[in-house]
A and B are shown apart, each in its own frame.
Chain A
Amino acid sequence: MIELKNLRQNYGSRTVVDVDALTLPEGGLTSIIGPNGAGKSSLLGMIAGLQRPTRGQVILDGQDILRMPRNRFARRLAVLRQDNSINARLTVRDLVGFGRYPHSRGRLNACDVRHIAHAIKLVALEEYQHSFLDEMSGGQRQRAFIAMVLAQNTEYALFDEPLNSLDIKHAVGIMQLLRRAVDQHGKTAIVVLHDLNFAARHSDRIIAMRDGKIIADGKPENVITTDVLSKIYDMKLNVLKQQNKQIVDVFGK
């Protein structure tokens, strides 16, 4: 279980995240939505221990994550950030192999190799596994990074806009993949999403943010409503129902 206590992040005098308390229990797919600059990425970065909060704590199973040895933490929680530019030339397989670092410390064994191959297969990149990242399309690269997180095989996996630069087929594929990981393997996924319909369709829980604060938090049917959405996006969005799931008419009125 991850708990946030009095978490706050300031950049200069600007407060970008201000969350009094939030609990993320194990299991389930949680989406974080909100407009640009709502503090979603900063929140995710702090949960992943990549940036130090100005104030407050992130606690994983009773322990402050900043006090945890980094390597042990990385066996429990993996994160994919938004900006994944790599300057060096690296093949897909090497990249995914780095996901095994917390387990093998860079010396891959047979078990690691199995995990790597499986992760590559899950994102359908077998054909390209020996290609260099800088020679691939944006979508393929994004899938390679997702495979790296999958290979890390942690209970918690955090993704910051994983559907960026993916076409609709692969976007749906990735969301289904995450859904399967949650349902069949009991993983916990926390995903920052821009696309409200993806969030509504695939999430167990949705957290809506604005100006660093959590505006709404709950089941999709309670968060994806015209009322809540107008609070965070300042525009009226119609929400339709289809097969008991919300569909947002994103064109506004």
Chain B
Amino acid sequence: MTPETRRNRSRLAGGGLALLLIAMIAAFMTLGATGNWSFILPYRGEKLLTVLLVAWAVPLSTILFHAISDNRILTPSIMGFDALFVLIQTLLIFFIGSERINILPVQGVFLGEVLVMTGFAMGLYGLLLRRVAGSLELLLLVGIVLGVLFRSISGLLQRMIDPGEFLVLQGRIFASFGGADPQVQAMAAACIGLASAWAFWRLPAIDVMILGRSGAMSVGLSHRRLSLEVFAIVTMLVSASTALVGPITFFGLLVAHATYRMLPGAPLRQTIPVAGLAGALLLVVGQVVLERVLGFDGTVGMAVEFLGGLLFILLLIERAR
């Protein structure tokens, strides 16, 4: 595939997806609306914003993660990143209590959470990636079990806090695509914006990570430093998206692979925008078809988990053959 055909292809894919997305957003905003437009449009707009933020952040984090971990099955959520974020939120409520947290400025708390999360994730997964890097299967299984462990600890602690606190916590971590607190939304948007800017600045270098550790080093990349940077970016993205809609395991994998299929061998600066568009389209179509047309409220996440889970199984089988 020549660079020209590839560029044309990614423009075509991007353009097509963008057109479809606009049409779908129009449908999303207007379909099945009865009553006062001045109420419906802002309400749906807020929801749409959440969807778009997540549709951008999750595939971006997944593709970056694929680039540094030198394979295309691992994703941050499969490795338990979002479960870790939930655990940190739970620990916060458990040990500090919502009242004392509510005194603090929301921005500060969010920033603190992201920092703690980044530090913890870097330590833990840095160790893990170094220690068991030899076997992808082991890494996957350890990641999945680690996710289960984090969820179990969160679950255990959640049973031990009093019901009032639990409600506060629930509001913080079990949000669905139904829309998030505007303040959280603004924070998450800022976090995602920052992480994306950072990622795009480093994109030419991250592209080189495809060569693997020694390949990247032999063309002059400080592999270790860049890995840490990308880790931090990924953690910021996961924290923001988890704060918005809660954990979603297979969404990133699904969108990333759809994009890889569309644009084989494309550099990240072409892959990522197309993935963002594809992710947004998937979620908006899901909302329109499942919720507006079929009337299954709140089920987009489950449908994505179902399809993504199947894809994960297929990828595993393909790998084993």
Contact = CB atoms under 8 A, between A and B. Distances in A.
Contacts of B119: none
Contacts of B264: 89, 132
A188 to B, nearest CB: 16
A107 to B, nearest CB: 6
A106 B70 contact: no
Contacts of A198: none
Contacts of A80: 218
A204 interface: no
Interface residues of B, number: 27
Contacts of B31: none
Contacts of A75: 220
Contacts of B160: none
Interface residues of A, number: 35
Contact of A105 (B70, B205, B211): B205
A106 B217 contact: no
B212 interface: yes
Nearest to B218: A79
Given A105-B205, A106-B204, A107-B204, A132 B265 contact: yes
A101 B265 contact: no
A81 interface: yes
A91 B264 CA distance: 9
A70 to B, nearest CB: 5
A74 B72 CA distance: 27
B214 A102 contact: no
Nearest to A75: B220
Contact of A88 (B3, B213, B219, B265): B265
A74 B211 CA distance: 15
Given A101-B204, A101-B220, A101-B221, 15 more contacts: A71-B220, A71-B221, A71-B222, A74-B218, A74-B219, A86-B210, A86-B211, A86-B215, A87-B71, A87-B72, A87-B210, A98-B219, A99-B219, A101-B219, A152-B219
